[in-house]
A and B are shown apart, each in its own frame.
Chain A
């Protein structure tokens, strides 16, 4: 398995740490109801198909990456820097 880091290029999966779904980017504001935090921390769409998830180029540039990926085929269709993400 390989990932193309926007900064470092095509790299082996061994260089990356996986966190989970992109939900972790949508941190509720302080004082948000419990359900929001449950949604943020625990509940997942967990699709069998295209998803967006978070990878960390730990053995590389230390950038967190937002990866568009298919959970069935493992095809990767887009990689962007979390820090410069569009959405």
Chain B
């Protein structure tokens, strides 16, 4: 029911929205919860396990009950707190976790079965027969469990991430936060003020208070106006600081567009990484419920929430309100209600010494022991001494005192301290370096205390920053906080602790009875505190009940750990930017467009895109194109972009010496103008990478790496240099992206290359020379990854595309053309060249037959570890070639023909296969136990997954031109 003259909503701006198919009206400034309550909608959800009717409990992000699905034009969002969702024109929401309608939820049958669904019941049953678990029990449990629903459709919403930096981060804009922000702001420090709600002011918006002699609302408005005017202060409303991380980093979620109708490019949320030199935690406190029988009915709410709905939204959630509270502070709720003309039927105060002077009936030393009303509260039972009083009421405001909102202080494993005085946990100082808790978050419960501590913390931060400021702290109420801890009212029925997960005091006691006495055991056994509110409403009461059941104090019982995020954060927000291609950088060759122009399918090679093959009219499969390209290279000339290979320019007097150290073989003896194949080991003796290095000058080398290992090798070289030989005269830099490099291979390669050169050169095999191409300085290498006479021509990247197009065009006039990754792979398999399919990280130089490349004359990285007994010898699998006439597959395993196929008879496996148009057979590379001694043997190749079982001949891995005559032609 709406109360005239109250609230901060804009009554000139009515907003229409829909809940469970019915249209309602609210005002701008309303939350879905306040607007529903204004429309007298009390039933908004069903509980997790028993499907009990549930209404709004709180007015904040800690809401455990009022979780709804918000339905947008293209998708829906589950588990939205109605207490945080602002209403907007056209908002559509619906209740969740029900079978049937919200009023008649068929799963409410669970409530009647509750004696059999006590804590941990599922661990004790559903075990027989075994097959029924996946088949019957589990599917039923899974369907009944869960809360809201995802649509199953891609989330096409827009999300963003951003970084921010500041001197002082103020978390929360209640009295403590505003005072801190004002103090830090006036000093000139860079300040970020984050407020979870859409309006600044915190509880000053909810409580009728006076600050500095003026109504609190006015003071808030003044301070906010000043902060807004300060260029060094950034106010972030609708922003929840969700986590405290190392070295002053905080995560924060800004709800950018969730309070507006969706429109293109309006981000829904933005996830911030805020780096702050100092942080002031002014997150306030959370009021805690009291456990009594049937304390979960719609209409039973937190007293502070009733106050917020009254003062901030002009809404009263009932006609006859009762108050059950154990602090003096909560009395204000009743007084403000009465002042607004609402009937307060009774105040029930468990403190025997509490005042009974109010303008309504007051029962001191009394407790609420029960409630009635199927879908909403209609009355309560109050025990006063031996008497039970029945009171008609449709809204019970309850308060069991306050828990400081200390969560962020625990995110770095800091344990909170139990305060007997407050009957609450308070932050341990210094638990998060650089963060200071102030105000109610630190147990200063009065407004005065909040202002003073907020000011003091900001002042300290400002001084540490070397700044000065003088700000007067305004006067405010300083009422003592005096409560009698009341966690649970004695009784025999079910009294709820965790509303969201349906955990009652009985469950906690049962856990203790069954030996789950540690607070963590209790939590995990009962699921207490594991629901969407993460126990914000219930953890402390639950461990008080546990402490009681186990005969220990609360401090000794301890508390479970608060972990990030403070409030749940959507995966889309923290994963913003990851959607679709955004997940990883894309690297494109200079020839990319030229390849696409020719219809080449581009495939991912690490971060690169490379052409798979270049289809021609009439070719129906990739194999058609691949076979043609292989033949083209073997018979005429092919052109391939190989710029993805890592290129590292190495210079200095000790460059050769350095290469000798990182390669197994020797490079210091390489003549200028020559290229050598090199093998690089990891320090653990296994093969890291291979490639060629060219000596361009006396003190100048150019190393190439495989595409996959380019970054790895660079990092490795930097380490070896800086860690072991920092004093050597050598420097290097990655030039991978500076050069475009094209392989030109085939019998006509020389002719094609020479057609480009201003001065043709005669290069020997493994030679390198500077060349001029169309007025551009380039390099020519005579190296081959195909087994044909091969060259690699490299030019600065900006000329890459032009050169590629020209190379291909001229090649085509010679019966050649471009070739892609598929053909490149076939060519290298025919020649027995390895890639990372073979050097997969478990392979030694010995395994690939290159042990002789490990120079005996010098030390090198990995040399010592490679001599370990397990790293060589006939029991290891060695590289072999495989040849057959039936299709074979990589990933198949090898067995001796006519033996059983199982792990113990396994002889090896296949790493690469191809149909070889050159050899006219299926070829493979693989690893076979003692393989080099077994050339000529028959071996059985079994691929269960693809249904292949083929006999192959084991052979030398070089199938094509074993003598290398073509290479040297």
Direct contact of A and B (CB under 8 A): yes
- Please report A residues at the B interface, Cβ cutoff 8 Å: 1-2, 12-13, 17, 19, 24-25, 27-28, 30-32, 34, 37, 41, 54, 56, 58, 62-64, 73-76, 81-84
Can you list 10 contacts pairing A with B, beta carbon distance less than 8 Å?
A1-B245, A12-B275, A19-B719, A37-B864, A41-B865, A56-B715, A62-B714, A83-B722, A83-B723, A84-B726
Contact of A37 among B246, B412, B865 (CB under 8 A): B865
B246 x A1 contact (CB < 8 A): yes
Which A-chain residue is minimally distant from B248 (CB atoms)?
Answer: A2
Chain B 418-434 per-residue mask, 1 if CB under 8 angstroms from chain A, else 0: 00000000000000010
- Chain B nearest CB, measured from A1 CB (Å): 4
B246 x A32 contact (CB < 8 A): no
Chain B 682-723 per-residue mask, 1 if CB under 8 angstroms from chain A, else 0: 011000000000000000000000000001001100110111
B contact residues around A73 at 8 Å (CB): 412
- Chain B nearest CB, measured from A42 CB (Å): 9
- Chain A nearest CB, measured from B860 CB (Å): 9
| Contact A2-B864, Cβ < 8 Å, known A75-B433, A83-B726 | no
| Contact A27-B715, Cβ < 8 Å, known A1-B249, A2-B248, A74-B246 | no
B275 x A2 contact (CB < 8 A): yes
B contact residues around A2 at 8 Å (CB): 246-249, 275
A83 to B720, CA, bound (A): 10
A contact residues around B160 at 8 Å (CB): none
- Chain B nearest CB, measured from A25 CB (Å): 5
A contact residues around B724 at 8 Å (CB): 27
Interface bin, chain B: 20 to 34
A contact residues around B684 at 8 Å (CB): 41
Which B-chain residue is minimally distant from A1 (CB atoms)?
Answer: B246
- Decide yes or no whether B944 CB sits under 8 A from chain A: no
- Chain B nearest CB, measured from A71 CB (Å): 12
A contact residues around B247 at 8 Å (CB): 1-2, 74, 76
- Decide yes or no whether B89 CB sits under 8 A from chain A: no
Which B-chain residue is minimally distant from A19 (CB atoms)?
Answer: B719
| Contact A25-B859, Cβ < 8 Å, known A56-B715, A64-B718, A76-B247 | no
Contact of A82 among B711, B714, B722 (CB under 8 A): B722
A63 x B722 contact (CB < 8 A): yes
A64 x B246 contact (CB < 8 A): no
Contact of A64 among B245, B248, B722, B864 (CB under 8 A): B722
A79 to B868, CA, bound (A): 35
B contact residues around A58 at 8 Å (CB): 711, 715
A contact residues around B719 at 8 Å (CB): 19, 24, 54, 56, 64, 82
B718 x A34 contact (CB < 8 A): no
B contact residues around A84 at 8 Å (CB): 726
A34 to B684, CA, bound (A): 12
- Chain B nearest CB, measured from A22 CB (Å): 10
B contact residues around A37 at 8 Å (CB): 864-865
- Chain A nearest CB, measured from B234 CB (Å): 20
A10 to B800, CA, bound (A): 38
- Chain A nearest CB, measured from B529 CB (Å): 25
Which B-chain residue is minimally distant from A82 (CB atoms)?
Answer: B722
Which A-chain residue is minimally distant from B717 (CB atoms)?
Answer: A62
A63 to B865, CA, bound (A): 26
Q: How many A-B residue pairs have CB under 8 A?
A: 62
A contact residues around B683 at 8 Å (CB): 24, 27, 41
A32 x B864 contact (CB < 8 A): yes
A59 to B181, CA, bound (A): 35
7 nearest CB pairs, A to B: A83-B726, A1-B246, A2-B247, A30-B859, A83-B722, A64-B722, A74-B246
| Contact A34-B868, Cβ < 8 Å, known A24-B723, A58-B715 | yes
A contact residues around B723 at 8 Å (CB): 24-25, 27, 64, 82-83
- Please report B residues at the A interface, Cβ cutoff 8 Å: 163, 245-249, 275, 412, 433, 683-684, 711, 714-715, 718-719, 721-724, 726, 859, 863-865, 868
A30 x B864 contact (CB < 8 A): yes
Which B-chain residue is minimally distant from A17 (CB atoms)?
Answer: B715
- Chain B nearest CB, measured from A78 CB (Å): 14
- Chain B nearest CB, measured from A47 CB (Å): 17
- Chain A nearest CB, measured from B265 CB (Å): 27
B contact residues around A31 at 8 Å (CB): 864
- Chain B nearest CB, measured from A37 CB (Å): 5
A54 to B249, CA, bound (A): 22
A60 to B856, CA, bound (A): 37
- Chain A nearest CB, measured from B145 CB (Å): 36
A contact residues around B715 at 8 Å (CB): 17, 56, 58
- Chain B nearest CB, measured from A9 CB (Å): 13
A58 to B734, CA, bound (A): 12
- 14 additional A-B pairs beyond A27-B724, A76-B247, beta carbons within 8 Å, are A1-B246, A2-B249, A30-B863, A34-B868, A41-B684, A41-B865, A54-B719, A62-B714, A64-B718, A64-B722, A82-B719, A82-B723, A83-B722, A84-B726
Which A-chain residue is minimally distant from B727 (CB atoms)?
Answer: A83
A81 to B719, CA, bound (A): 11
A contact residues around B859 at 8 Å (CB): 30
A3 to B723, CA, bound (A): 20
Which B-chain residue is minimally distant from A29 (CB atoms)?
Answer: B859
Which B-chain residue is minimally distant from A76 (CB atoms)?
Answer: B247
A17 to B718, CA, bound (A): 12
- Chain A nearest CB, measured from B576 CB (Å): 15
Which B-chain residue is minimally distant from A40 (CB atoms)?
Answer: B683
- Chain B nearest CB, measured from A53 CB (Å): 13
- Chain B nearest CB, measured from A32 CB (Å): 7
A29 to B721, CA, bound (A): 16
Which A-chain residue is minimally distant from B726 (CB atoms)?
Answer: A83
A76 to B859, CA, bound (A): 35
- Chain B nearest CB, measured from A56 CB (Å): 6
A28 x B864 contact (CB < 8 A): yes
B contact residues around A1 at 8 Å (CB): 245-247, 249
B865 x A62 contact (CB < 8 A): no
- Chain B nearest CB, measured from A80 CB (Å): 11
A41 to B433, CA, bound (A): 35
A56 x B864 contact (CB < 8 A): no
A41 to B868, CA, bound (A): 13
- Chain B nearest CB, measured from A20 CB (Å): 11
A75 to B412, CA, bound (A): 11
A56 x B718 contact (CB < 8 A): yes
B contact residues around A41 at 8 Å (CB): 683-684, 865
- Chain A nearest CB, measured from B712 CB (Å): 10
B contact residues around A76 at 8 Å (CB): 247
- Chain B nearest CB, measured from A82 CB (Å): 5
- Chain A nearest CB, measured from B868 CB (Å): 7
A contact residues around B722 at 8 Å (CB): 63-64, 81-83
A27 to B724, CA, bound (A): 8
Q: Which of A28, A30, A63, A81 has the most CB of B within 10 A?
A: A30
B contact residues around A28 at 8 Å (CB): 864
A contact residues around B868 at 8 Å (CB): 34
Which A-chain residue is minimally distant from B165 (CB atoms)?
Answer: A10
- Chain A nearest CB, measured from B278 CB (Å): 15
A contact residues around B275 at 8 Å (CB): 2, 12
Which A-chain residue is minimally distant from B682 (CB atoms)?
Answer: A41
Which B-chain residue is minimally distant from A27 (CB atoms)?
Answer: B724
B contact residues around A13 at 8 Å (CB): 246
B contact residues around A12 at 8 Å (CB): 163, 275
A4 to B724, CA, bound (A): 23
A56 to B247, CA, bound (A): 18
Which B-chain residue is minimally distant from A32 (CB atoms)?
Answer: B864
A contact residues around B726 at 8 Å (CB): 82-84
B contact residues around A27 at 8 Å (CB): 683, 723-724
A1 to B245, CA, bound (A): 7
- Chain A nearest CB, measured from B288 CB (Å): 31
A34 to B433, CA, bound (A): 44
A49 to B164, CA, bound (A): 31
Which B-chain residue is minimally distant from A24 (CB atoms)?
Answer: B723
- Chain B nearest CB, measured from A69 CB (Å): 10
A30 to B711, CA, bound (A): 27
B contact residues around A56 at 8 Å (CB): 715, 718-719
- Chain B nearest CB, measured from A48 CB (Å): 13
